[in-house]
Structure 1
Amino acid sequence: MTTSHEPAARPDPAPYVARSTTDLVVMAPLVMGFHPRDSVVLLTFGDGGPGFHARVDLPTDLGSQQEVAATLLPPCVEHGTRRAAVLLHTDDAEAARSQAVLLVEALLAVGVDVLDVVRVEEGRWFPVPEDGDPGTAYDLSTHPFTARHVFEGRTVRRDRDEVAASLVGSDDADLTAVTLAATRAADDLLLSTRPVRAVLRPEGRWLQRRLRRSVLDREPMSAADAGRVLALVGVAEVRDVALAEVERSNAQHHVEVWRALVRRCPESLLPGACGVLALAAWQAGDGALAWCAVDRAVEVDPDDPVAESVAQLLLGAVSPVTWRPPRGEELPLFRG
């Protein structure tokens, strides 16, 4: 079962204010960043404003549907969720009905007021349980929420697979050049006769400067610099330097930098780069991308600590505002 608690696609814009079921249906792909398919989408709302939003694969067997309800409940309790809407994106009316029963019962049991329960097909939604209602048509392309989304420069991917595909490069010649550069950089680190800290500290300072430059100028890195960066974030103490550069104010820029690096990254170094991308995507409010980065990292190293940490943040629907990156001499690499 794939679970992804996905916060709104960006932290800064004002929240959408839904005044109808159609508004909720249109809002789901906009806050997720992609069009859900065969999914349970939970939109939550607290007394203080917008809550977290979550997407889980919709299973068809009872046991897995019970797991879905059990998975979605703890974040609601943790965040003091007062109201929620349940959207079941599927053509399978029976699977939607049975999942809705289990999830709604669980939500009501912890005091969550369920505003709406609907099954969503492309261009039409149906109340659950269904009673022969022909459903209500909606047009995502003409809805005011969509117009605002486009005006703010945000996009919606076709589905989650398209989000994952955005992390896979297609330039074989560039991949070869970056791989050679990464190998040279790694060899320089390994073959040095100086103390480890004496080798890594200046590399960490270089990494700081290079990332800050990329965030400002938005220019692609050379193959030499990309390989060096990717080799460095394969070292835990140096990766901490990259992680500390990410904050809410610059998170989207770091997403762009690290997505490009992941697309150019040799497979063996993916955990380091994907871990930083996952954290940046979480900070930017792009839970779908964060999960895809986590997935790519653990495909290579199932025990990668940063990927595991970000996964726990996503599963717990932890707000990005809780992140307090270490500064300057607080980083272990730069102490003393």
Structure 2
Amino acid sequence: MKRAPSHRPPPPTVRLDSRDPQELLGLIPYLLGFRPEESFVLLLFHGGELLLSARVDLPPVAEADQLADYGHALAVAHQATGAVAVAFGSDFTAATVLLDRWRARWADAERPRRSCVLHDVLYADGERWWSRTTAFGRSRTVGVPYDPRASGAAAAAVMAGLPALASRAELEASVAGPDESDRPGLAALAARAVRDLDRLDLPARRMAMIEAVQASLAAEPSDQDCARLAVLAAAIDARDVAWSMITVDRADDHLALWRRVVRRTVDRYALGPLALTGTAAWVGGHGALLNCCVERGLTLDPSYSLITLLAELSSSGIPPTLWHELGPRIREEVWPETG
């Protein structure tokens, strides 16, 4: 599959009252954070509760079995009792052949367990949808018109303040670093931060990171603040202190902070902030943004350990609830002098 799968649990402020395709198609852009194109999306349920959304680039038909096996493994891992699959694409024939093969493979994988019901398999081209099952009794020939913005689920997502960017490319751009014209000035700020911080020993660097993060959570950091945070994060010990400060209840605040730092940091110091942005994205349930951080991080340095860890978390479908246990444990390890 071209990109690592992205996973996102539904926000607690949005409830889905049915699995009607109109409602699902309206909610999916807000679950992903952007409007999907040429994408395969799997929604997993437990009873009436939406557990997880997972997305990959729409693969070739030859990868349908692999995609079904991966989706079924996710369903088992999350103890899902129901699933809906949706392919978004411009080629009706290619997408529906993929879906039909995917559905057959899913049935083979699920048959021995009989624990996760496949409620529907949909194809959508942006204007109409088709069901590849008979769950909703819809026509497979003419399709059903839909407007994703007109659904009740979409309205609830907007009211909850959930974003839906126009495309994944827009999401990638949000962690792509500064504009070329800004780079010389930002590089100079980073060099100044290196000189200012060079005299600090390890305990002082840890404390400097704590103070810088706390201040920047209280007020949007300036370019100078971003340079200081990025240079501090270049040291693994100080970066790990910031890593441990990310909590489930404030994940989105840390995400906004480190995303700002990434946007104002030159490549030389971008890896630490990218890894921290990716962690906050994972903890907050922003799977697509996590993958954008991983992709850029691997481009900068494919051996950077925290980026490769995040890549494994994403590809394995590890739920962010793990951070309830892992976060405090990391904090105990990296705060021995300051905690």
TM-score, normalising length from structure 1?
A: 0.88
Shift of 1:334: 3.3
Check whether the contact 1:274–1:297 (CA below 8 A) recurs between aligned residues.
yes
Is residue 211 of structure 1 aligned with residue 219 of structure 2?
Answer: no
Residue in 2 that maps onto 1:3: 4
Residue in 2 that maps onto 1:313: 313
Cα separation, partners in 2 of 1:313 and 1:27, compared to 1, 3 Å: same
Is residue 120 of structure 1 aligned with residue 124 of structure 2?
Answer: yes
1:126-145 correspondence to structure 2 within 5 Å: 126-128=130-132, 133-145=141-153
AA aligned to 1:65 is A
Cα separation, partners in 2 of 1:148 and 1:99, compared to 1, 3 Å: same
Cα separation, partners in 2 of 1:3 and 1:17, compared to 1, 3 Å: farther
Is residue 249 of structure 1 aligned with residue 249 of structure 2?
Answer: yes
Shift of 1:291: 0.8
Partner-residue secondary structure (3-state), 2:7: coil
Encode CA deviations 1:262-304: one digit per residue, 9 max, x unaligned: 1111112222111000010111111111111111111101122
Shift of 1:319: 2.2
Shift of 1:327: 6.9
Check whether the contact 1:46–1:80 (CA below 8 A) recurs between aligned residues.
yes
CA RMSD, Structure 1 to Structure 2 (Å)? 2.4
AA aligned to 2:90 is D
1:12-27 correspondence to structure 2 within 5 Å: 12-27=12-27
What CA distance in whole angstroms lies between the structure 2 residues aligned with 1:325 and 1:299? 27
Cα separation, partners in 2 of 1:282 and 1:328, compared to 1, 3 Å: closer
What CA distance in whole angstroms lies between the structure 2 residues aligned with 1:131 and 1:325? 49
Residue in 1 that maps onto 2:45: 45
1:12-161 correspondence to structure 2 within 5 Å: 12-47=12-47, 49-62=49-62, 64-108=63-107, 109-110=109-110, 111=114, 112-128=116-132, 133-161=141-169
What CA distance in whole angstroms lies between the structure 2 residues aligned with 1:329 and 1:15? 33
Match of 2:188 among 176, 180, 183: 180
Encode CA deviations 1:7-55: one digit per residue, 9 max, x unaligned: 1364x42432334122122222121111111111000112483222111
Residue in 1 that maps onto 2:261: 261
Question: Which stretch has the larger CA shift, 225-234 or 317-326?
Answer: 317-326
AA aligned to 1:107 is W
What CA distance in whole angstroms lies between the structure 2 residues aligned with 1:189 and 1:211? 15
Residue in 1 that maps onto 2:327: 325
AA aligned to 2:15 is P
What CA distance in whole angstroms lies between the structure 2 residues aligned with 1:173 and 1:166? 17
Shift of 1:122: 0.9
Question: Which stretch has the larger CA shift, 244-253 or 169-178?
Answer: 169-178
Check whether the contact 1:56–1:68 (CA below 8 A) recurs between aligned residues.
no
Check whether the contact 1:5–1:316 (CA below 8 A) recurs between aligned residues.
no
Cα separation, partners in 2 of 1:132 and 1:320, compared to 1, 3 Å: closer
What CA distance in whole angstroms lies between the structure 1 residues aligned with 2:49 and 2:290? 24
AA aligned to 1:121 is D
What CA distance in whole angstroms lies between the structure 1 residues aligned with 2:9 and 2:148? 18
- Structure 1 segments of 4 or more deviating over 4 A? 129-132, 169-174, 187-190
Partner-residue secondary structure (3-state), 1:18: coil
Question: Which stretch has the larger CA shift, 223-232 or 46-55?
Answer: 46-55
What CA distance in whole angstroms lies between the structure 1 residues aligned with 2:242 and 2:337? 16
Check whether the contact 1:89–1:120 (CA below 8 A) recurs between aligned residues.
yes
AA aligned to 1:320 is P
Check whether the contact 1:9–1:32 (CA below 8 A) recurs between aligned residues.
no
Cα separation, partners in 2 of 1:122 and 1:295, compared to 1, 3 Å: same
Check whether the contact 2:10–2:50 (CA below 8 A) recurs between aligned residues.
no
AA aligned to 2:148 is L
Seq. identity, %: 26
Q: Which runs of 5+ in 1 are unaligned?
A: 193-197
Check whether the contact 1:200–1:333 (CA below 8 A) recurs between aligned residues.
no
Question: Which stretch has the larger CA shift, 260-269 or 223-232?
Answer: 223-232
Check whether the contact 2:233–2:239 (CA below 8 A) recurs between aligned residues.
yes
